[in-house]
Chains A and B, each alone.
Chain A
Amino acid sequence: MRQAFINTLTELAKKDTRIFLLTGDLGFSVLENFREKFPKRFFDMGVAEANMIGVAAGLALSGKIVFVYSIVPFLTMRCFEQIRNDLCYQNSNVKLVGIGGGLGYGAAGPTHHSLVDIAIMRALPNMTVICPGDPVETEIATKLSIFRQGPVYIRLGKSKEPKVHLKTPEFEIGKGITIKEGKDITLIATGNILYNAKQVADKLIENGVSTRLISIHTIKPIDKEIILKAAKETRAIFTIEEHSLIGGLGSAVAEVLAESNNKIFFRRIALPDSFCKDIGSQEYLREKNGLSVEQIINNILQIYKKIYKNEN
């Protein structure tokens, strides 16, 4: 996804000279091409994130569109108050691009995991939160973010994520994408686990469960309409995300459902409220936490059978 991001941004920066790119000394083997092409609009800020956000705000207040690139925890947590005051309070035109969403930096350990970033970013007034699910969504989100006045948080995975969308989907910030239609259950997924959610959906369909799959790339503002439609037309909703159970996609969908009159069955599939201390790759850690494709399928099938029994 990071490659899709930087390729897109490099193209955009050719035409739009307002675009600047700042990095907190990260992006080795990713950002070099941009640096070479636009040396006057590229700043390696050093390992100094608070200053990086402040400088981004100052540039934005001077009419620039500023992209800020780093690994998620350093980008969103180290300098959280700068984000709140300098970016959100002033509605500055700064786009935060976080790398390694969820367990993307698996073996690097909990300092590098990003399991609560959606929760804290979506709580901020004026902030838009986008978690693209594949390189195609990343490209479109990057393009559209420059037309959205104010701060945007774009939460990316890392590298080599497979494409979910084989054709360019209809993509609008704040609107989910229905990838598969279905009438038994709905899976709502976001971000870097979207590809796995698609595999889950495929398997469920093979098992005779008519499964709707929705990509909610924009967590804030959330697409209420697509959620309520699924609540009306299917019998259960499951959210799937690589983020803590607290405050992420699952919470955002739950908020919509709880305030509707719908009594649909609802479950969040996410990471527990704990530090992920096991050591291993992203795939390994997903499995340790019940987030492998197989585990999610079994989890959903078990619940589905119960619901089905009760209803019939």
Chain B
Amino acid sequence: MDYNKISNNIRKKILKIIFDSQASHIGSALSCVDILTVLYFKILNINPQSPLAENRDRFILSKGHAASALYATLAQRGFFPEEILDSYCLNGGKLPGHSTKGCVPGVEVSTGSLGHGLSMGAGMAIAAKHDNKNYKIFVLLSDGECDEGSVWETAMFASHHKLDNLIGIIDYNKFQAFGKTNDILNLEPLKEKWLSFGWQAQETDGHNFSQIEKTLNNVPFEKGKPSLIIAHTVKGKGISFMENKVEWHYKSPNKEQYNLALKELNQK
């Protein structure tokens, strides 16, 4: 499995559709590509030919603004034809700027407002336990999303009910819309918060494929507890002039920037 090649392809697709549509959130999409790559090409028990199979693992993109990354990953994995990607955010297209349940096969829930995905994941986890099913539910959150009180309501709920089939992953790229995450509303000590809420938590380098895979292979980290992965990432990862720059939360690349970025990705 050539993770580098796959994730580079996904990044190129994200770059193209965001350039074509002049949409936002390229930095937020690029920071979670490597996590999505490992999930969709190694970890998740899924079948693109049978996207609604009863016992599939569920993936919820709670940071719905990174929808371009999810769509590009699903297309790369064969859930739908790549041409559909070209309609992202365009008039009459199939793919809205925030991921919407069923817009294409593989998108499980509608997100876009932060602080919703983990609760829905907990509901799915309860259902799986009740029905004696073994599937897992993976929820990808943003760091800024942890400002939402509802995230912590679910944190309490999930540990109280021992939902060890629920895995939260925080794409900790250290930036949110208007600045650095911990300048705006400090999350630290983040790992300790989750531990004290009754989860088992581990940190990982969100761009190191073998580390991501190893961490995800270890879930649940502890029987009877939900698992939380803090993935340290870089906003805008893979396109050097976008890395760690808050403005790429919103900005769209112009033609020159697009060519520059594409050149960089092509060289990898």
Contact = CB atoms under 8 A, between A and B. Distances in A.
Given A46-B156, A85-B116, A55 B110 contact: no
Interface stretch (B11-19, B37-45, B124-132): B124-132
A51 B119 contact: yes
Contact of A90 (B110, B121, B130): B110
B108 interface: yes
Contact of A59 (B124, B154, B156): B124
B119 A54 contact: yes
A71 B154 CA distance: 21
A7 B149 CA distance: 34
Interface string B90-120: 0000000000110000001111110110111
A46 B150 CA distance: 13
B119 A64 contact: no
A40 interface: yes
B130 A41 contact: yes
Contacts of A82: 116, 119, 150
A63 B119 CA distance: 16
A51 B150 contact: yes
B119 A55 contact: yes
A51 B154 contact: yes
Interface in A78-116: 81-82, 85-86, 89-90
Contacts of A48: 150, 153, 156-157
A85 B124 contact: no
Most buried by A among B123, B125, B128: B123
Given A54-B118, A54-B122, A62-B127, A89 B154 contact: no
A50 B149 contact: yes
B46 to A, nearest CB: 16
B113 A54 contact: no
A53 interface: yes
Contacts of A56: 123
- Main secondary structure on chain A at its contact with chain B? helix
Contact of A50 (B112, B121, B123, B150): B150
Interface residues of B, number: 30
Given A56-B123, A86-B120, A90-B101, A50 B113 contact: no
A45 B157 contact: yes
Interface residues of A, number: 26
A85 B157 contact: no
A63 B128 CA distance: 10
B256 to A, nearest CB: 38
6 cross-chain pairs, A with B, having the tightest CB-CB distances, nearest first: A58-B123, A54-B119, A62-B127, A51-B153, A55-B123, A48-B153
B119 A58 contact: yes
B150 A55 contact: no
Interface in B120-156: 120-128, 130-131, 149-150, 153-154, 156
A63 B157 contact: no
Interface of B: 100-101, 108-113, 115-116, 118-128, 130-131, 149-150, 153-154, 156-157, 161
- Main secondary structure on chain B at its contact with chain A? helix
A58 B157 contact: no
Contacts of A86: 109-110, 116, 119-120
A54 B120 contact: yes
A55 B157 CA distance: 10
Contact of B119 (A43, A53, A60, A90): A53
B61 to A, nearest CB: 14
A46 B116 CA distance: 17
A57 interface: yes
A13 interface: no
A64 B127 contact: yes
A124 interface: no
Contacts of B112: 85
Contacts of B119: 50-51, 53-55, 57-58, 82, 86
Given A45-B157, A48-B153, A54-B150, A61 B120 contact: yes
Given A55-B123, A82-B116, A40 B130 contact: yes
A164 to B, nearest CB: 37
Contacts of A50: 115, 119, 149-150, 153
Contacts of B120: 54-55, 57-58, 61, 86
A63 B55 CA distance: 13
Nearest to B149: A50
A59 to B, nearest CB: 4
Interface in A200-246: none
B121 A58 contact: yes
Given A57-B119, A58-B122, A89-B110, 13 more contacts: A45-B157, A46-B153, A48-B153, A48-B156, A51-B154, A58-B125, A61-B120, A61-B123, A81-B113, A85-B113, A86-B119, A86-B120, A89-B101
